[in-house]
């Protein structure tokens, strides 16, 4: 009895916690939990014994149909026989966790959890009689548990003979939980440590080995500390869960999209800062010109002292940086400190921009698998895979109810957030499930069609009017002369565009309220579509204004710097209008509604307008990255401030949507709009600027070339003249870059891949439908087998009852008639045979006595 108890209570020795013992209160909790487990085991045995007794009584009494007929309960549900219930109770799904090994394992886990607590009194300070004892229970391990312990010991011995890498690889591949793997690793490391201590008893480790081991541990700890610090410094650490629990997935999708844009801009900024801005700042092109005094207006206009910095295109050199200089003809010496590693700035500028856009495109469309997906940028393919899975989404209500809770949550705040999140998810699922189209009459449908037509005509007229206004005002700004002292006039065009965007968005929102869409999701999608058309039309007119009209008007000047500053002004003005809209559109309206109108209703968060503002700002960033390489830094700062301001305003001034709805495809729609209208349009704009527009002759790395793309051709010609060692680079440029055949071949391969993927998806859908049909047939087979099993046991019980009746009543007694056995107490007559009559009379007398 003592040996199994020692095996169970040997947890602290395995965990290395020998100096700490549980308090009497904690050990009493273990006592009560183990007592509860034993009671569950005994209750299961009593239920099984009760089923056997019911069957035995039914067979003894000979009641036909007892114990084997399928009766109807109080609710009309079938009550199976004892035999059927016994078979169902012995199924694997009903016996999981009921074995003694599972009880010991659960008690072991609870004991480990209690003994890991750090704040506990020492056991030696307690009175020995105050400690509850577990010796009253029979904890003898069975042969199966002893066999498992023996196998575990053999496995530890096998692991001791392997190297560290082989042992870790084998432990990763084992189908065990993390606790068991950790226990095996600790046991094998302890034994190896003892063996090494015995082997190295005669000598000591060298100083270099100890120092190297200490440095490795220090670097590992520093890396873990940095990762944990970065994880804790994220502004959305707990905010996203709180927003999702209080406001639902529709509002949460906006903040998730903002987080995605922040990741894209951080990736773009790292490339441009490391390959362009950092290199040019370390090796400036020449003596800097005297910068104008800082007035504060530069934060709005982007000019002034910011003009001659690495922020804009005109500051970058058109020479090869760090190139060994040739002594000049006038006899002056070269400047010392020149290195032998040249850096061609025009080529680096062109290739860095191309690589940045290529990496951004790959990140948008496709994301490769990684062991740490949280550090990667969400992609459109991943979003489509999550939203539009092959097959239906039936059973999501049951999954949300039974599988949503995270049992690793231990804090009260986290558990409360998880409760709010699950409750909001259930509201959204039920709202979408109950959403149905009410039947309308012909007159009602006609009235609704007329209303929708008028609303769309008004929206299209507003878009056309805003586009014409932007075009006319841009022409006025080109024709009006600009003076050096009137930089505030440069804010006129961004101010007009921001006003038109804000006013049109409020008009679209009012029209959406008048239309009264049945689905809140449809209302959001319609608003997104209208705002998107307006913003894309305005951006198209502005692109023509910058690359068409401004380039011609600024001949002899650095038009690239002007375009970069113009895009900077547009971003700053859009951010200021977002702050003003948050202040007056949400805070002031909430104060007026609560104090003046005496209403408790707060304004709802406008998802469509806020999301389109994010896409609009990101499009401006991609349009201006060629002319202002540090514009992604401005966008990162803008997004961080927007996240904090919108979060605070949402918590204080907004309420949850009155009609909850499930935004299952919202993130996918946002990424799609970010990829095709936004990124594709910015890529076309920049390709036209690189291939067709002549650069300025007074600034920038391409000042002596006809086009920016000419820098690549110059480099290829330089490689051709350098020697045969690099002749493959001109060949690649000639047959892959400038060849139309390769372009058509790549397009054909892309179309073929898309076609095969479509066919694969169709095949997967067909296989899924077949598997669903097979699962349905297997369920019907199980029901059929249970019914047949029930009928077999029913016939068996009937035959057994019939045999019992024949054994109790002889055939001779059934054949003859006569007087009754009990003179006046029974319906049966006494038999007429004299011998049987005498025997029956004597048996009757004995029975009465």
> pLDDT tens for residues 481-516?
665 556 778 899 999 999 999 999 999 989 988 888
Q: Are 253 and 367 in contact (CB under 8 A)?
A: no
pLDDT at 785: 83
Helices (H), 310-441: 345-365, 380-387, 396-403, 412-434
Show the tokens assigned to 194.
């003892």
In the 8-state DSSP scheme, what is residue 289? P
pLDDT at 614: 95
Distance of CA 483 to the CA centre of its chain: 53
Instruction: Using the structure block, give the residue that is written with the tokens 């009209």.
Output: 549
pLDDT at 754: 83
H/E element holding 464?
Answer: helix 442-479
Alpha-carbon gap, residue 27 to 111, rounded angstroms: 8
182 Cβ contact list (under 8 Å, min separation 6) = none
Alpha-carbon gap, residue 4 to 146, rounded angstroms: 10
Alpha-carbon gap, residue 427 to 248, rounded angstroms: 9
Nearest one of 620, 667, 663 to 380, comparing CA atoms: 667
pLDDT at 686: 94
Nearest one of 335, 319, 260 to 669, comparing CA atoms: 260
Residue 189, helix vs strand vs coil: helix
Show the tokens assigned to 341.
């590693």
Number of residues that make up the chain: 849
Neighbours of 58 (CB within 10 A): 21
DSSP strand pairing (343-344 vs 71-72):
unpaired
Neighbours of 326 (CB within 10 A): 7
Weakly modelled stretches of the chain, pLDDT under 50: 1-27, 30-31, 56-77, 92-108, 110-112, 114-140, 191-193, 195, 197, 199-204, 326-340, 369-375, 391-392, 812, 814, 817-840, 842-849
Residue 321's DSSP bridge partners are 343
Cα-Cα-Cα-Cα dihedral sign, residues 626, 631, 636, 638? negative
Residue 78's DSSP bridge partners are 72
10 Cβ contact list (under 8 Å, min separation 6) = none
415 Cβ contact list (under 8 Å, min separation 6) = 409
Show the tokens assigned to 764.
């997967």
- Quick one: 801 exposed, middle or buried, by C-beta within 10 A (0-12, 13-18, 19+)? buried
Alpha-carbon gap, residue 132 to 31, rounded angstroms: 7
CA angle 705/710/711 to nearest 5° reads 90
Alpha-carbon gap, residue 77 to 185, rounded angstroms: 52
């Amino acid at each position: 009895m003592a040996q199994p108890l020692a095996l169970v209570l040997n947890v602290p020795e395995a965990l290395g916690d020998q100096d700490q013992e549980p308090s009497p209160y904690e050990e009493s909790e273990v006592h009560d939990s183990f007592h509860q487990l034993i009671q569950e085991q005994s209750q299961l045995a009593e239920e099984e014994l009760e089923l056997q007794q019911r069957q035995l009584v039914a067979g003894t009494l000979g009641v036909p149909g007892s114990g084997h007929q399928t009766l109807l309960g109080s609710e009309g549900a079938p009550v199976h026989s004892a035999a059927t219930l016994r078979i169902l109770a012995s199924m694997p799904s009903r016996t999981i966790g009921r074995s003694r090994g599972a009880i010991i394992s659960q008690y072991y886990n609870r004991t480990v959890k209690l003994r890991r607590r750090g704040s506990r009194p020492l056991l030696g300070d307690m009175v020995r009689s105050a400690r509850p004892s577990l010796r009253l229970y029979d904890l003898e391990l069975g042969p199966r548990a002893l066999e498992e312990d023996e196998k575990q010991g053999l496995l530890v011995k096998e692991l001791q003979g392997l190297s560290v890498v082989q042992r870790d690889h084998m432990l990763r591949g084992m189908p065990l939980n993390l606790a068991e793997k950790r226990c095996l690793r600790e046991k094998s490391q302890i034994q190896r440590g003892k063996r090494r201590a015995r082997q190295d008893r005669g000598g000591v480790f060298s100083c270099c080995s100890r120092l190297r081991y200490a440095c490795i541990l220090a670097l590992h700890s520093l890396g873990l500390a940095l990762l944990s610090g970065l994880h804790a410094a994220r502004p959305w650490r707990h905010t996203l869960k709180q927003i999702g629990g209080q406001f639902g997935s529709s509002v949460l999708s906006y903040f998730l999209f903002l987080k995605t844009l922040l990741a894209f801009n951080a990736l773009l900024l790292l490339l441009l800062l490391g390959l362009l801005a950092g290199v040019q700042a370390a090796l400036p092109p020449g003596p800097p010109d005297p910068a104008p005094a800082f007035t504060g207006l530069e934060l709005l206009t982007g000019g002034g002292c910011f003009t001659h910095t690495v922020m804009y295109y005109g500051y970058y050199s058109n020479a090869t940086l760090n190139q060994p200089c040739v002594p000049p003809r006038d006899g002056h010496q070269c400047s010392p400190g020149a290195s032998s590693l040249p850096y061609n700035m025009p080529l680096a500028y062109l290739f860095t921009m191309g690589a940045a856009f290529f990496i951004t495109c790959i990140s948008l469309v496709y994301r490769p698998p990684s062991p740490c997906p949280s550090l990667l940028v969400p992609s459109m393919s991943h979003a489509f895979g999550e939203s539009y899975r092959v097959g239906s989404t039936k059973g999501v209500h049951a999954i949300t109810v039974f599988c949503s809770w995270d049992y690793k949550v231990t804090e009260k705040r986290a558990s409360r957030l998880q409760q709010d999140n699950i409750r909001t998810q259930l509201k959204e699922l039920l709202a979408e499930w109950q959403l149905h189209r009410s039947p309308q009459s012909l007159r009602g449908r006609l009235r609704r069609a007329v209303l929708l037509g008028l609303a769309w005509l008004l929206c299209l007229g507003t878009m056309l009017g805003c586009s014409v206004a932007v075009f006319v005002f841009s022409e006025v700004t080109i024709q009006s002369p600009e003076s050096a002292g009137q930089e505030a006039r440069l804010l006129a065009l961004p101010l007009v565009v921001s006003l038109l965007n804000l006013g049109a968005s409020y008009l679209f929102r009012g029209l959406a309220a008048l239309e009264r869409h049945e689905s809140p999701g449809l209302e959001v999608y319609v608003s997104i579509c209208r705002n998107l058309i307006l913003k894309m039309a305005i951006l198209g007119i502005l692109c023509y204004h910058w690359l068409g009209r401004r380039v011609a008007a600024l001949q002899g000047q650095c038009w690239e710097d002007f375009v970069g500053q113009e895009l900077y002004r547009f971003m700053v003005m859009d951010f200021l209008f977002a702050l003003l809209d948050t202040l007056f559109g949400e805070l002031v309206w909430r104060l007026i509604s609560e104090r003046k109108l005496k209403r408790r209703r707060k304004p709802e968060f406008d998802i469509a307008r806020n999301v389109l503002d994010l896409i609009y700002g990101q499009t401006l960033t991609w349009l201006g990255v060629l002319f202002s390489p540090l514009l992604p830094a401005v966008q990162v700062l803008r997004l961080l401030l927007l996240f904090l301001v919108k979060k605070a305003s949402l918590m204080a001034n907004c309420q949850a949507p009155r009609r909850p709805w499930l935004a299952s495809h919202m993130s996918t729609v946002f990424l799609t709009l970010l990829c095709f209208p936004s990124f594709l349009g910015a890529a076309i704009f920049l390709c036209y600027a690189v291939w067709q527009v002549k650069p300025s002759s007074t600034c920038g790395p391409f000042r002596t070339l006809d086009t920016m793309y000419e820098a690549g051709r110059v480099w290829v010609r330089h490689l051709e003249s350098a020697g045969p060692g690099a002749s493959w680079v001109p060949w690649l440029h000639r047959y892959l870059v400038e060849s139309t055949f390769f372009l058509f071949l790549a397009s054909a391969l892309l179309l073929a891949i898309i076609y095969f993927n479509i066919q694969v998806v169709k095949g997967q859908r067909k296989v899924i439908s077949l598997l669903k049909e097979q699962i349905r047939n297997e369920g019907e087979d199980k029901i059929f087998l249970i019914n047949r099993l029930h009928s077999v046991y029913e016939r068996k019980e009937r035959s057994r009852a019939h045999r019992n009746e024949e054994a109790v009543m002889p055939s001779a007694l059934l054949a003859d008639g006569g007087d009754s056995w009990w003179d006046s107490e029974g319906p049966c007559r006494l038999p007429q045979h004299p011998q049987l009559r005498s025997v029956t009379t004597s048996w009757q007398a004995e029975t009465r006595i």
